[in-house]
Amino acid sequence: MVDVILKADSDQGLINRNIYGHFSEHLGRCIYEGLWVGEDSPIPNTDGIRNDVLTALQKLNIPVLRWPGGCFADEYHWKDGVGPKSERARMINTHWGGVEENNHFGTHEFLRLCELLGTEPYISGNLGSGTVQEMQEWVEYITFDGESPMANWRKSNGREEPWKMKYFGVGNENWGCGGNMRPEYYADEYRRYATYVRNYSGNEIYKIACGPNEGNYEWMEVLMREAARFMDGISLHYYTIPTGEWNDKGAATGFGEAEWFTTLKKTLHMDELLVKHSEIMDKYDPEGRVGIIVDEWGTWYNVEPGTNPGFLYQQNTMRDAVLAGVNLNIFNQHNKRVHMANLAQIVNVLQSLVLTEGDKMLLTPTYHVFDMYQVHMDAQRLDLNYESPGYTFGEETIPQLSLSASRNKDGVIHVTACNLSHTDELEVVCQLDAAQAAKVNGQILHHTDFGAFNTFEQPNHVQPVAWDGITVENNTLRFVLPPASVGVLAVEG
């Protein structure tokens, strides 16, 4: 049993809804077949965007969607993706599978998707192989409401009114696939390119610099020292790889107890990364203006057997669900620095919400976690005091319990909870300070097989159910978390 004190009057600032953001790259079957099938497809669609996926994603109230990459962003030339589709340039996607990219899904199509989802677009600009002029003209094309060659071209392509675009990334992974740059060089390039990411027609852009990979603290130090005043956010990328080896990352399914434990142990490293990078940022930005944008995170396993290794297609199990819940709890706890996070990726790639095969679609366990956790969006974070029991496997121990709590605008308190242990249930006794609890209900995502996943034959094999056995008496909550589970509680006064 673990004792928890929830301080209902301890407002710790807003949990930015963008923490629950997503990422769509021109990679494998994420865009084509996943989100986009084209207007002439027999698969039901709206303006080429498949309806089943659209409906599923609308339910999540996705706050922000990143596009077109990823590594693809720094070889993407946006002008190839506008105008009549029959006239758009074709290219080879050299990063991801060597397949042909026909550019049928471009700026207009992406922004239409965002409109249908009710989500903010986050566009990653090409600093690695593009020009300053190209980046400046893309922003102008999208946002300028006036007389100019780019605005007139947009209008001739069927969009009279400009779009609103809040988030723009100036390059991606420029320490690697985006140009193999040194931090000092990229800092200067960022300053140059960002100068021309202009605000047009009342549109105000939140500029995001390419930040470090994992624990590259030197990169963060240099960027904050040299360019903090020119940015609004700085990215951070961290993927959870069970083996820690890029050449053999481990399987997405059929794993054992050791792989379960190791994967969760490695994902908890996210907290250390946020603490240490935040300490560096505090030196140059003590008021906390610049946000950490964790715009690539999630699991990365070996691809499914028989699939194109460049497509990064992997299954999604209860292990991924627990891992997603743990990371979202971590982001919530760092809400004063973390302004956005984007799970990689939204459909058919890495830790997806949705998988498709032809006209079939399924929701993954990770999808259900995001559905359950959306209650934290724009809610006030509340303090939780507890000491987690240890979860030991072999000679190593990690915390068994991960929690987060918030209060929404209607005064409802929500608690999200993850049990990392694959063997032991956990009883939690939560004292509610400064709150009157009259009613409680919840949902639990759990399966007796910690490696369980959904298939096209059994799409509902893993899904949340009503959480029975929760009690509240004298402002004390009691509940039991089954092994390897994710739950959400709603407490009303």
Q: Is 100 a catalytic residue?
A: no
Q: Is 173 a catalytic residue?
A: yes
> From the candidates 296, 304, 357, 395, which is the catalytic residue?
296
> From the candidates 25, 33, 75, 173, which is the catalytic residue?
173
DSSP symbols for 4-45: EEEETT----B--GGGGEEE--SSTTSTBTTTB--TT-SS-E
DSSP symbols for 220-281: HHHHHHHHGGG-SEEEEEEEE-SSS-TT----SSS--HHHHHHHHHHHTHHHHHHHHHHHHH
> In a 3-state reduction of DSSP, which class is residue 362?
strand
**Nearest in space to 61 (alpha carbons), one of 23, 20, 25:** 20
Contact indicator for 40, 439 with CB cutoff of 8 Å: no
- Alpha helix stretches (DSSP H) within 118-216: 132-143, 149-156, 183-195
Q: Identify the bridge partners of residue 200 per DSSP, sorted by sequence position.
A: none
Contact indicator for 261, 236 with CB cutoff of 8 Å: no
Contact indicator for 292, 281 with CB cutoff of 8 Å: yes
DSSP conformational letter for 88: S
Question: In whole angstroms, what is the distance from residue 238 CA to residue 366 CA?
Answer: 17
- Looking up tokens 């696939």 gives 177
> In a 3-state reduction of DSSP, which class is residue 462?
coil
State residue 56 phi and psi, 5-degree precision: -65, -40
Question: In whole angstroms, what is the distance from residue 438 CA to residue 467 CA?
Answer: 17
Q: Indicate which residues carry an active-site annotation.
A: 173, 296
